[in-house]
Amino acid sequence: MYPPWSKSKSGRLRPGRYFIRIAAMQRILCSLILICTALLGCHPEKNDSHTEVFKTPDQLATDRNKQLLQSHQELAISVLKFARPDLQTQITETGIVARADGVEKQIDLLQIENELIHNANHERPIIRRYLDTQLRPFDQQRLQTLGFDKVRPMVRYELVNRGQLEQMQKDYPRAPICSAEIVPNLFRATVIQSGGTEIPVDRTMLQTWHIGDAELDAAAGAALKQIIAQAGPNLFETINYPTFGDCGALKVDGSVMLAPEFLAAVQQQWKTTDNLVVFMPSPHSVQFVASHNQKLLGLLNPQWQKVVGSLADPLYKLLLLRSADSISAYVFTPVSKPAVTQPATKPEIFIVN
């Protein structure tokens, strides 16, 4: 063992070898600590990695709102990619931008951000409704910019009742929508089918395209003929009721009934010259029966009326008659059975023994 202290020649005490070695070990240990600190990046001169600890409540709320806005922007992009694949979309600072056919629309999500924050479980439907509202004038503008020659193949008729037509006009209030009454409370509105949505054609579009109603109706009529021709025998399904006859169920949109070729196609397949009595509670649920088949009409009409009564907003409550040159309302009158009369005199009773 080394003594802890030793005397110099002058008589002073000095540390012995023991203390010298301890001091050396301490210096080595301090060096190792500094090296580890440098490797771990814990430099006092650098910024703290958990700066949010030092933020005020207002700063934390601002950061949270920015994160929510970004998540809502991403959700809006997701909704549009599913519902409107015809659009190109991109996130901006406050919302998104939609582009199509050389036209651009900036959509600011800040206008509904407060509603989204307070309805955390209903963001998707809120965003979908808002996007629909924002894209309506955009769709009209881009189709108007394309010109009639390019949109001609997309012109269609849409069947609506009076209330539905009025709602369509509220959704697209820029100018009167091109429409016509078929029978009381049943109308056809002219629309453009584009990207999975239907945009009504209004008078402003006609003026920009420099066309009239006749040219617009010719395009819609040509589309109906094309649908009927392409469907061929699959235009409708025939349902046979034994001893009663045949009922047809349309497989395409009910607007094809507006074309005279529809009646001709049914007559050819059924080998008949009868007109058709049509039941149309919605454009996608259409049935019809030959007008002379009163027996089958008597069977089906009560069922049809139950269907109409169960719907909140049926397209048309009554029946229609489709003849070669017109469509009119049809009132079915059941054939009453003759009353059973009693004999005038009481029959005699014969007793046989």
Q: Is the pLDDT of residue 143 over 70?
A: yes
- Alpha carbon 249 to chain centroid, angstroms: 26
**What are the beta bridge partners of residue 91?**
96
59 band by pLDDT with thresholds 50, 70 and 90: low
Residue 304, both tokens: 């049809």
Residue 183 has pLDDT above 50, yes or no: yes
For 85-142, the pLDDT digits (tens) are 989 999 988 889 999 988 999 999 999 999 998 998 899 999 999 999 999 999 999 9
**Cα 185 from Cα 283, distance rounded (Å):** 14
Residues 6+ apart with CB under 8 A from 260: 324, 325
Rounded CA gap, 22 and 95, in Å?
A: 67
Return the higher-pLDDT residue of 348 and 280: 280
How far apart are the C-alpha atoms of 253 and 282, rounded to whole Å? 9
Residue 95 near residue 73, CB atoms below 8 Å:
yes
Strand partners, 229: none
Banded model confidence at residue 222, pLDDT cuts 50, 70, 90:
very high
Q: What is the residue-averaged pLDDT of the chain? A: 86
CA distance 260 to 237: 19
- Asked whether residue 238 carries a pLDDT value surpassing 50, the answer given is yes
CA dist 111 and 287 (Å) reads 46
Q: How much is the average pLDDT of 147-164?
A: 96
Contact present, 191 and 198 (Cβ < 8 Å): yes
Question: What does the pLDDT read at residue 196?
Answer: 77
How far apart are alpha carbons 27 and 19 in whole angstroms? 12
DSSP label of 251 = S
Domain limits, the chain = 5-35, 61-146, 148-229, 231-330
Name every residue whose Cβ is closer than 8 Å to that of residue 279 and which is 6 or more positions away in sequence. Answer: 286, 287, 288, 300, 304, 319, 320
Per-residue pLDDT, averaged over 195-217, amounts to 94
> Within 13 A of 122's CA, how many CA atoms are on the CB side?
9
Q: What does the alpha-carbon distance between residue 334 and residue 228 come to, in Å, rounded to a whole number? A: 33
- pTM: predicted TM-score of the whole model, two decimal places: 0.74
- Interior angle at CA 227, CA 270 and CA 281, nearest 5: 70
Average confidence (pLDDT) over 47-62: 62
Above pLDDT 70, what percent of the chain? Answer: 78
A 10 A CB-CB count for 3 gives 9
Which is more confident, 44 or 236?
A: 236
SS3 call for 84: coil
In this predicted model, which residue has the larger pLDDT, 78 or 19? 78
Task: Kindly list the distances between the CA atom of residue 309 and the CA atoms of 35, 200, 247, in Å, as whole numbers in the listed order.
Answer: 84, 29, 21
Taking CA atoms, 2 is separated from 5, 17, 20, 76, in Å, by 9, 6, 11, 80
- Tell me the C-alpha distance between 296 and 293, whole Å: 6
* 46 pLDDT more than 70: no
Token code pair at residue 198: 């239907």
HSE on the CB side for 344, CA within 13 Å? 0
Lowest-pLDDT range, 29-38, 167-176, 313-322?
Answer: 29-38
